[in-house]
Amino acid sequence: MSENKHIVISKFGDTSVLEIQSKPIPEPAANEVLIRVAFSGVNPIDVKTRAGLGWAAAQNKDNLPWTLGYDIAGEVIQCGANSERFPIGQQVAGFIGFPLEGGGYSQYITVNEAQLSAIPESVTLEAAAAIPLAGQTAIQAINQANVEEGERVLILAGAGGVGHIAVQVAIAKKAEVYTTCGEDNLDFIAGLGAHAINYHFSPVSERLSDVDVLIDLVGGDAALDALKCLKDEARVVTVPTLTAETICERATKLGFRATGMLVSPSTELLDALLYMIGIGMLKVEIESIFPMHQAAEAHAQIETGHTRGKIVLDMK
pLDDT tens per residue, range 42-80: 999 999 999 999 999 999 999 999 999 999 999 999 999
Candidates 215, 248, 212; CA nearest to 232 is: 212
Whole-angstrom Cα distance, residue 99 to residue 102?
7
pLDDT at 274: 98
pLDDT at 2: 73
pLDDT at 39: 98
pLDDT digits (tens, 9 = 90+) for 187-205: 999 999 999 999 998 999 9
- Output the 3-class SS for 53-67: CCHHHHHHCCCCCEE
Whole-angstrom Cα distance, residue 302 to residue 49?
13
pLDDT digits (tens, 9 = 90+) for 16-28: 999 999 999 999 9
Long-range contacts of 222-229 (CB under 8 A, 24+ apart): 222/156, 222/180, 223/156, 223/247, 224/250, 226/154, 226/156, 226/180, 227/251, 227/254, 227/256, 229/154, 229/204, 229/205
User: Lowest-confidence range among 1-10, 32-41, 168-177, 238-247?
Assistant: 1-10
Domains 4-131+285-314 and 134-260 agree in fold: no
Does residue 213 contact residue 233 with C-beta atoms inside 8 Å? no
Decide if pLDDT at 234 tops 60. yes
Q: What percent of the chain has pLDDT over 90?
A: 97
Whole-angstrom Cα distance, residue 241 to residue 13?
19
Residue 38 confidence class, pLDDT cut points 50, 70, 90: very high
pLDDT digits (tens, 9 = 90+) for 132-165: 999 999 999 999 999 999 999 999 999 999 999 9
**∠266-270-272 over CA atoms, to 5°?**
120
4-131+285-314 belongs to which CATH class? alpha beta
Cβ-based neighbours of 200, under 8 Å, separated by 6 or more: 182, 183
**Once rounded to an integer, what is the mean pLDDT over residues 81-109?**
97
Candidates 106, 118, 114; CA nearest to 75 is: 118
Q: What is the CA radius of gyration of the chain?
A: 19
Give me the sign of the Cα torsion angle 14, 158, 238, 276.
negative
Decide if pLDDT at 91 tops 80. yes
Does residue 108 contact residue 4 with C-beta atoms inside 8 Å? yes
Decide if pLDDT at 1 tops 70. no
**Beta bridge partner(s), residue 34:** 78, 110
- How high is the mean pLDDT of the chain? 97
Length of the chain: 316
**Once rounded to an integer, what is the mean pLDDT over residues 234-249?**
96
pLDDT at 173: 97
**Once rounded to an integer, what is the mean pLDDT over residues 8-16?**
98
Predicted model pTM: 0.97
Q: Which amino acid is at 73?
A: A
If phi > 0 it is left, if psi is from -120 to 50 it is alpha, else beta; for residue 108 that is beta
**Once rounded to an integer, what is the mean pLDDT over residues 276-290?**
98
**Beta bridge partner(s), residue 9:** 18, 66
Whole-angstrom Cα distance, residue 261 to residue 142?
11
**Once rounded to an integer, what is the mean pLDDT over residues 32-45?**
98
Segments making up each domain of the chain, as ranges: 4-131+285-314, 134-260
Q: For 134-260, CATH number?
A: 3.40.50.720
